């Protein structure tokens, strides 16, 4: 089984020359193809910072990040952005949908940015919304959706381009227990169908029921 992501001695220090804060400290981590890795830890322990580093949204202080055959140290910021756009999906705790767009338009965006024609983008967006139980919400805007529906649309948007790795930062943090279970089940089904990998930072212990590996981060250390 091959690695999707391999991290060695990853460290992030904020304010290194004034008041150093070591948010992530010498983390070693491997994510294999088709696996679900769950990272738990108290608020402020470095979970979100770690995910942002892995997605190339934040610059590391030291260490190595390898995504498949790509070493972040050898890539420009534009190349990392391209890698993230084509190979990764990222889901925040808050959905960040565009309010003026319908569900299907929001989901289609990553495909259009990757130069898919509109007809194909709409077709693929319909398929993934169907798989997440949202076939009746194509034309609804975020203001017309429930919290769980908004989050599932955000998840659909992150996965519509069939990424190898989906990174999720507290994806059920604002949801009630029933809606949280719907989202977790949807993610579990996606991994089975697509053989993708998930890396999830969460306080939601229900994620540990579907995970292949559970990690605890404390003061930036796993």
Residue 79 belongs to some domain of the structure: no
Torsion of CA 120, 125, 131, 132, to 10 degrees: 170
CATH number of domain containing 140: 3.40.50.300
Residue 28 belongs to some domain of the structure: no
Higher pLDDT, 94 or 158: 158
pLDDT tens per residue across span 39-93: 988 888 889 999 999 999 999 999 999 999 899 999 999 999 999 888 999 888 7
Q: What is the DSSP string of 112-180?
A: HHTT--HHHHHHHHHHHHHHTT-GGGTT--GGGS-HHHHHHHHHHHHHTT--SEEEEESTTTTS-HHHH
Q: How many domains does the chain have?
A: 1
- How does residue 1 score in pLDDT terms, banded at 50, 70 and 90? low
CA gap 111, 186 in Å, rounded: 21
Residue 49 belongs to some domain of the structure: yes
Residue 222 belongs to some domain of the structure: no
pTM value is 0.87
Full domain range(s) for residue 120 = 33-59+88-216
pLDDT tens per residue across span 190-221: 777 777 899 999 988 888 888 999 998 887 67
């Amino acid at each position: 089984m091959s690695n999707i992501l391999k991290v060695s001695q990853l460290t992030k220090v904020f304010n290194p020359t004034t008041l150093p804060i070591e948010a992530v400290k010498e983390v070693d981590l491997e994510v294999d193809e088709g696996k679900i890795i769950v990272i738990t830890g108290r608020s402020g322990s470095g979970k979100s910072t770690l995910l942002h580093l892995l997605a190339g949204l934040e610059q590391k202080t030291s260490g190595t990040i390898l995504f498949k055959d790509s070493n972040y140290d050898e890539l420009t910021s534009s190349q990392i952005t391209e890698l993230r756009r084509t190979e990764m999906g990222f889901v925040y705790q808050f959905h960040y949908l565009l309010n003026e767009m319908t569900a299907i338009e929001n989901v289609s965006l990553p495909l259009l940015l990757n130069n898919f024609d509109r007809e194909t983008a709409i077709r693929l967006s319909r398929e993934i919304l169907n798989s997440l139980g949202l076939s009746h919400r194509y034309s609804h805007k975020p203001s017309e959706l429930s919290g769980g529906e908004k989050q599932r649309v955000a998840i659909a948007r992150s996965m519509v381009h069939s990424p190898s790795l989906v990174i999720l930062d507290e994806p059920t943090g604002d949801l009630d227990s029933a809606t949280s279970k719907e989202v977790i089940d949807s993610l579990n089904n996606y991994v089975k169908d697509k053989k993708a990998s998930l890396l999830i930072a969460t306080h939601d212990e229900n994620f540990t029921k579907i995970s292949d590996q559970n990690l605890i981060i404390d003061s930036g250390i796993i």
